[in-house]
Structure 1
């Protein structure tokens, strides 16, 4: 399992999320889900996309 740092754009902000995943595609999906379902924000209906991804190890 690799560690990834994914920059996820959500409307006017970018969040850096670290996830562990087998592949780049899985890492992107996990990171977008993390941002989409943040309990402190209501991002379910917002436009979310991956801005950048970097493998950490």
Structure 2
């Protein structure tokens, strides 16, 4: 479940609750690496992703 799935040709859905986060951390793909990006950068990277609210 890559956070930047579009890089792999996968469809991505982003939870709207991430929109206001100043920093985002996600798994780097090997269960041992952590990736950190600014919230604004994350939004840019996922600008074409589908957005929904599926967490509380």
User: What is the TM-score normalised by the length of structure 1?
Assistant: 0.29
Instruction: Kindly indicate whether structure 1 or structure 2 has the higher relative contact order, using CA contacts under 8 Å at least 6 residues apart.
Output: 1
**Structure richer in strand, relative to its length:** 1
